[in-house]
Structure 1
Amino acid sequence: MADNQISGKIPTELGNLVNLIYLSIENNYLTEVIPESFAKFQNMQELYLGKNKLSGTIPAAFLGNLSHLSEFDLSNNLLIGEIPSTIENCKKLQIVDFSMNNLSGAIPTQLLGISYLSILLNLSHNSFSGNLPPEVGMLKNIGTLDISENHLSGGIPENIGDCSSLEYLYLEGNSLDGIIPSSIASLKGLLQLDLSRYNLFGSIPQELQNNSVLEWFSASFNKLEGEVPMHGVFQNANRVSLTGNDRLCGGVAKLNLQRCPPKSLKKRKHHVGRKLIIIIIIFSIAFILLLSLVLTIIIYQIMRKRQRKASTDSTIEQFPKVSYQELHHATNGFSVQNLIGTGGIGFVYKGRLNSEERVVAVKVLNLQKKGAHKSFLAECNAFRNIRHRNLVKIITCCSSVDHKGDDFKAIVYEYMKNGSLEEWLHQNAEQQRTLKFEKRLETVNGIAYALHYLHYECEKPIVHCDLKPSNVLLDDDMVAHVSDFGLARLVSTIDGKSNIQTSSMGIKGTIGYTPPEYGMDSQLSTEGDMYSFGTLLMEMFTGRRPTDAMFKDGHNLHNYVKIAFPNNILEIVDATLFSEENDHLAVTTDVASDLRPNVERCLSSLFKIGLSCSVESPRERTNIKAVIAELNIISKALAD
């Protein structure tokens, strides 16, 4: 019964089918708890309950009776609590997927002691805490182990090397610390290893370069130091991610790491360094005692005057330098002919940089506008350490003075030939180009992957704050790129709650796309981005802006879609989605027969995503992980 639109709770009477050996009701809209009657499934071998909205805990009696179960999927639900220890009775389990729930507590050793576990153990994206038990070494036959995005602490057990069949090991996004155990190098079949966003220190085991099959290694955003290996997977910079480890050195040239000091000089440098430190300390103390009062006054005055400039310089120091004169020349003196866009706090010009020999877009900020300086810093900061296929690439930032001696600030972007999504969705009468259904679906996927990267794959989550069609640009191949990070904020996560690290000012974002809680001075959050995403998605497939004149007296785009969902969605679909050029017939049930049978179902699933992301309560909004999982299902269904 998988992949339907079945809703409500699972009937307890289903448990009367005591001879079932296979049951799949995944990817539906089922809610409430797992029935206790499922404990009667003593012959069950494969049970798939994933991708629903099941809540509550996992019944202990239910698990204890499934002694013949080999494949078990509870992923993508709303389950809470701990994994019952009775899972040890499921001695024949080969595949276990409990990912993307709210499960907590320690990882039970009873689960790790199941000798049949040989294909997959996925506990990722939950709230498991405590240490990674040393019993993990008992999984000698496991192929894929994914415990990423939890709250585990402590070190990685040395006996992880006992998992001799391991091919895929994902431990990223936890609070583990310590060193990378050398025993990992003994996993000769290991294909992918992700240890990013930890508190790991020490060096990368040199033995890892001897693994001839390892095809991906990530240890980004740790505290690693020392020399990076040169052979094996480390020969290819595209298959290694080491960003955020400032004390690493060496490696292949394309990793762009600092050179390691010659080994023969290390002891000498250490000895000389100690003497130098002592001398510096003595002279510093004498100098401070002599001039402390004068220096205090001077430094205070200088810092007051230069604080603003210092923050700007530190923000843009890692970007290639570009002068005002270069940008002035590249845009023909910021001429009207080169003007390609205007925004709330600046103007965008098309230009050609001689130094780069490429066409670029130059956003010049109007520093007379309130918040322009903070917007400049926010956008440059947001792009300091992020790179993604679906994010507009910043080439450089410029903080200088113009020919009048006034402050000048500009951001230079990759030029997007096909303009913004806004221009494609809402064209004037003279324009003849249209964006068909498949391309809109590709665009939604691209935006979703960009948000997933910002919310979950950066060192600290980034909230975009202003997601809308005009901030989605399309390149030569019509690939979507999210742009304009002038309102972006870094977020730290403490005890599962988001906390903004930089202060916000005024209303955040654009009316229609901004979640209602922002108007009540609520904290910025990734849930706010999800509201904007849901609104944007519904706009893409209805052709209606959230600020359309038809939405008044409490009516809005969310309600407009909700009223038509799910039986009358063809009445609200954008007429240009499936019509030929100059054919303005609406897509109604009269022409639905001309569509592929699965297209209407895909549209229904898309509108369901839009509605679930744009609900009023932030806590009830679907997160981007679940959205991507749904979009993958939709794309696959469309291709079939």
Structure 2
Amino acid sequence: MGVYGNQFIGQLPKEIHSLAKLEFFNVAKNNLTGRIPPSIWNLSSLTVLSFAKNYLEGNIPEEIGLLKNLTKISVSQNKLSGTLPLSLYNLSSLTDLYTADNEFHGSLPTNVFTTLPNLRRFWFGGNQFSGPIPTSISNASRIQSFDIVSNNFEGQIPNLGRLQDLSVLALDVVDVEENNFGGPLPKIIGSLSTHLSQLAMADNQISGKIPTELGNLVNLIYLSIENNYLTEVIPESFAKFQNMQELYLGKNKLSGTIPAAFLGNLSHLSEFDLSNNLLIGEIPSTIENCKKLQIVDFSMNNLSGAIPTQLLGISYLSILLNLSHNSFSGNLPPEVGMLKNIGTLDISENHLSGGIPENIGDCSSLEYLYLEGNSLDGIIPSSIASLKGLLQLDLSRYNLFGSIPQELQNNSVLEWFSASFNKLEGEVPMHGVFQNANRVSLTGNDRLCGGVAKLNLQRCPPKSLKKRKHHVGRKLIIIIIIFSIAFILLLSLVLTIIIYQIMRKRQRKASTDSTIEQFPKVSYQELHHATNGFSVQNLIGTGGIGFVYKGRLNSEERVVAVKVLNLQKKGAHKSFLAECNAFRNIRHRNLVKIITCCSSVDHKGDDFKAIVYEYMTNGSLEEWLHQNAEHQRTLKFEKRLEIVNGIASALHYLHNECEKPIVHCDLKPSNVLLDDDMVAHVSDFGLARLVSTIDGKSNIQTSSMGIKGTIGYTPPEYGMDSQLSTEGDMYSFGTLLMEMFTGRRPTDAMFKDGHNLHNYVKIAFPNNILEIVDATLFSEENDHLAVTTDVASDLRPNVERCLSSLFKIGLSCSVESPRERTNIKAVIAELNIISKALAD
């Protein structure tokens, strides 16, 4: 009886027991619910039984042991739970056993591979099994496919090389990814059958060097050992992988150079990941033999030398070429134009010089082009405008001069353009992506003009003015002479006035004036009037060193937020300077904008200092997470993800795109404000510090004010010394992210006796994260992400994967060691992947 692949609903009929002679029963890939009827275990003639890909619940009872003739059973992709009965492991005729993607737990019997001598396919992935892999695996001489991915197995990688009869072994797949296996890879792993085609051991805790013997598995087409703790060099024996198609060695601690002979033999390789290691030296020219490469990721290493033209000449490169965060030097070769099919090209954060080749316009399939953080100069080639599919373009932190090609505004799909901190000049386009100031970053180009109003650039001079320039020279000389004479006559008077003013002003205002001079000034009287005399009715927030009032400035004709500093509090004056200094040269869509400021005296003659910000109608993230139950219920998963993206974007700007990096020092929910569209804006830079670089080392501008921050969000190292760092901000970000998706503050009463939010998430990660997720994230009302109110079982699979990835980011950012924390660039990349996966 085979009814698989239909749309049957309801429960399995209890009358199934009347089919006494049934041998083959397959109801896979339907929409069946409920429990498996107990009467089915009386069908002793069954040889094949499949319930896969339904919504069945309950457990598998001991009675399954009555099916002595069973050869194949699959219950994968249901909602079954509990432990598997011992009687299942005594069905000696079983050849195929599939239990993947359920909620089974418990450990495997030590003799499981002895009592199942005919087993060929063993798929237990995506459950909650734990304990070690039984040593009886050595007896599983007929195993062809072995998959235990995404469980909680621990101990060392199972000693698969000790299988007794290698001559008859036909092992195709070994998958032990996403477990807790530790220790080194045993050398005997190289004694596995040469029939092995796929070996997956990523996302474990495997350490030590990669054994040379691994190269003996000459028929591997897929090898994944990324995200472990592997060290030392890539073995030369990997040159034997002549059939390899996908090779993932990223996120380890591999060192040394890339072996040339190794690359030269990988002629079938299509995907190659060496990112996030400690590799040095040049990319060998033998990479030209890897003619089928579609994805190359060598980012986050210490690779140097020129970008080899042999790499750029691989015509199959169509998805990704990522060489970012290395030390490549020399020019960007004109051969880059040969990458006609490439989708993403990232060569950012290197030491490239020279100009951007004009023939980059030949990369007609480009969607993402990242060249920021190099020493490139020259002009922006007009050919870039011919890339009609370009979605994102980052040319920031160069020495580019000239104008922005006006043709770029004709690209209807371009969604992000950054050319900040260059020497660009001339008129900024008005259309396309340039219509939205939030999608354009041009900070640090003082000679740009025009553009939309929200870019706040200077007005461009009238074009006719250029034609008249040669006429004004003579008049200008005459004017200069007249004013020179007047200047001499008035000089003594001016000096007298200056001396008089200096004598009158006894207060120290030099630092304040130099810090706030770029902001428009506002008087105490204006602010007093705008806030109705700083009335309690207008008070919308209080902090450690001041009060925030809602008001309406006549000069602005809009509602504003006025932060009045309590100068009696220690550090308030320096907080005012720090915040003004931080905002002096920064502008970003996810940062609260300073409108104006006030450094004056009040009606009593006392010092008065205030900062005026744009008003955020939806208040703070703190209110939405903890203070308003109705708000909390409406702040759903997708919106929280958008807010996280906004915060991360602001941090990326502060850490990497400012002329001098800025450390916020006090990132927390109450310092994240939400506008009309619920877009996140990071605020309160009262503790912010500028970072300068001396001899290649970060140097934080500190002060006697000390480091305060906020308990629960401040990284542990700040309690030991005053060395501020961007890593400290990442700790706060990770904590904030975990708080947003668990609904628990880091200062929650449950966190005591050494327990904290990081450990709370770590214990549940990755298999039990739905037990700690904020229950309001997926309530049934107005939410398409949840099918029912049963969050643990009815979420879309990609939503649960996104949650897991988000918690992984939170954990990696909030580890105790600052050096091991994920930086904001890597976080941005991960968040982009998560957002795309959710959209899919």
Considering the TM-score relative to the shorter chain, is it more than 0.5?
yes
**Distance of 2:320 and 2:635 partners within structure 1:** 40
Contact 2:586 2:658 in 1 (8 A): yes
Contact 1:571 1:586 in 2 (8 A): no
Contact 2:268 2:291 in 1 (8 A): yes
Which structure's CA Rg is the greater one?
Answer: 2
**Distance of 2:785 and 2:651 partners within structure 1:** 34
* Matched ranges for 1:13-412 at <5 A: 15-21=215-221, 34=234, 36-49=236-249, 57-75=257-275, 79-117=279-317, 120-136=320-336, 139=339, 144-157=344-357, 160=360, 169-180=369-380, 193-204=393-404, 218-226=418-426, 241-249=441-449, 257-259=457-459, 302=502, 309=509, 311-313=511-513, 315-412=515-612
Q: CA deviation at 1:466?
A: 0.4
Q: CA deviation at 1:78?
A: 5.6
Pick closer, same or farther for the CA change 1:277–1:144 going to 2, 3 Å: farther
Contact 1:203 1:227 in 2 (8 A): yes
SS in 2 for 1:308: coil
Q: Deviations over 1:549-570 (max 9, x none)?
A: 5555655443444455456656
**Distance of 1:580 and 1:187 partners within structure 2:** 44
Pick closer, same or farther for the CA change 1:2–1:515 going to 2, 3 Å: closer
1:417 aligns with 2:617: yes
Pick closer, same or farther for the CA change 1:23–1:273 going to 2, 3 Å: farther
Say which is worse superposed, 176-185 or 142-151, in terms of deviation: 176-185
SS in 1 for 2:704: coil
Contact 1:537 1:610 in 2 (8 A): yes
Q: CA deviation at 1:633?
A: 4.4
Segments of structure 1 that go 5 or more residues without pairing to the other structure are: none
SS in 1 for 2:355: coil
SS in 2 for 1:115: coil
Pick closer, same or farther for the CA change 1:570–1:251 going to 2, 3 Å: closer
Contact 1:221 1:245 in 2 (8 A): yes
Contact 1:445 1:631 in 2 (8 A): yes
Pick closer, same or farther for the CA change 1:336–1:8 going to 2, 3 Å: farther
**Distance of 2:321 and 2:794 partners within structure 1:** 44
Say which is worse superposed, 618-627 or 531-540, in terms of deviation: 531-540
Pick closer, same or farther for the CA change 1:605–1:301 going to 2, 3 Å: same
Q: CA deviation at 1:383?
A: 3.1
Contact 1:570 1:589 in 2 (8 A): no
Q: CA deviation at 1:195?
A: 2.3
Q: CA deviation at 1:347?
A: 0.3
Say which is worse superposed, 575-584 or 359-368, in terms of deviation: 575-584
**Distance of 1:188 and 1:563 partners within structure 2:** 47
Pick closer, same or farther for the CA change 1:481–1:82 going to 2, 3 Å: same
Contact 1:575 1:584 in 2 (8 A): no
Q: CA deviation at 1:493?
A: 4.7
Contact 2:787 2:794 in 1 (8 A): no
Contact 2:770 2:791 in 1 (8 A): no
**Distance of 1:276 and 1:583 partners within structure 2:** 69
Contact 2:632 2:776 in 1 (8 A): no
Q: CA deviation at 1:622?
A: 0.8
Q: Deviations over 1:557-596 (max 9, x none)?
A: 4344445545665665556666899999999999845766
Q: CA deviation at 1:205?
A: 5.9
SS in 1 for 2:627: coil
Contact 1:120 1:142 in 2 (8 A): yes
Paired position in structure 1 for 2:206: 6
Contact 2:624 2:632 in 1 (8 A): no
Paired position in structure 1 for 2:779: 579
Pick closer, same or farther for the CA change 1:635–1:15 going to 2, 3 Å: farther
Structure 2-normalised TM-score? Answer: 0.63
Q: Deviations over 1:169-210 (max 9, x none)?
A: 432222223444567678788776432221223445678789
Contact 1:579 1:585 in 2 (8 A): no
Q: CA deviation at 1:615?
A: 1.9
**Distance of 2:785 and 2:459 partners within structure 1:** 65
Pick closer, same or farther for the CA change 1:505–1:600 going to 2, 3 Å: same
Structure 1-normalised TM-score? Answer: 0.79
Q: Deviations over 1:78-107 (max 9, x none)?
A: 655432333232234344333344434432
Q: CA deviation at 1:350?
A: 2.2
Contact 2:785 2:795 in 1 (8 A): no
Contact 2:780 2:787 in 1 (8 A): no
SS in 2 for 1:259: coil
1:451 aligns with 2:651: yes
Say which is worse superposed, 82-91 or 329-338, in terms of deviation: 82-91
1:441 aligns with 2:641: yes
Q: CA deviation at 1:502?
A: 6.2
Q: Deviations over 1:244-269 (max 9, x none)?
A: 22223456777654455567766985
Q: CA deviation at 1:21?
A: 4.5
Contact 1:394 1:411 in 2 (8 A): yes
Contact 1:571 1:588 in 2 (8 A): no
Pick closer, same or farther for the CA change 1:627–1:419 going to 2, 3 Å: same
**Distance of 2:479 and 2:330 partners within structure 1:** 46
Say which is worse superposed, 576-585 or 249-258, in terms of deviation: 576-585
Q: CA deviation at 1:506?
A: 0.7
Q: CA deviation at 1:59?
A: 3.5
SS in 2 for 1:392: coil
Pick closer, same or farther for the CA change 1:476–1:28 going to 2, 3 Å: farther
**Distance of 1:111 and 1:584 partners within structure 2:** 45
Contact 2:397 2:422 in 1 (8 A): yes
Say which is worse superposed, 277-286 or 167-176, in terms of deviation: 277-286
1:547 aligns with 2:740: no
Contact 2:643 2:680 in 1 (8 A): yes
Q: CA deviation at 1:620?
A: 0.8
Q: CA deviation at 1:621?
A: 0.6
Q: Deviations over 1:217-245 (max 9, x none)?
A: 54332122345578888788777654322
Pick closer, same or farther for the CA change 1:369–1:581 going to 2, 3 Å: farther
Q: CA deviation at 1:418?
A: 3.8
Q: CA deviation at 1:525?
A: 1.6
**Distance of 1:117 and 1:452 partners within structure 2:** 29
Q: CA deviation at 1:343?
A: 0.6
Q: CA deviation at 1:451?
A: 1.7
Q: Deviations over 1:585-635 (max 9, x none)?
A: 999999845766666655544433222212222111111222233344455
Say which is worse superposed, 103-112 or 435-444, in terms of deviation: 435-444
Pick closer, same or farther for the CA change 1:437–1:378 going to 2, 3 Å: same
Relative contact order, higher structure (CA 8 A, sep 6+): 1
Q: Deviations over 1:126-152 (max 9, x none)?
A: 333344345545556656533122232
Aligned length: 640
Q: Deviations over 1:332-389 (max 9, x none)?
A: 2111122221111100112234444433322111122232222223223333444444
Pick closer, same or farther for the CA change 1:122–1:583 going to 2, 3 Å: closer
**Distance of 1:55 and 1:395 partners within structure 2:** 50
Pick closer, same or farther for the CA change 1:396–1:54 going to 2, 3 Å: farther
Q: CA deviation at 1:328?
A: 1.9
**Distance of 1:553 and 1:588 partners within structure 2:** 37
Pick closer, same or farther for the CA change 1:163–1:540 going to 2, 3 Å: closer
**Distance of 1:548 and 1:186 partners within structure 2:** 54
**Distance of 2:604 and 2:306 partners within structure 1:** 64
Say which is worse superposed, 67-76 or 323-332, in terms of deviation: 67-76
Pick closer, same or farther for the CA change 1:300–1:5 going to 2, 3 Å: farther
Say which is worse superposed, 16-25 or 60-69, in terms of deviation: 16-25
Pick closer, same or farther for the CA change 1:504–1:120 going to 2, 3 Å: farther
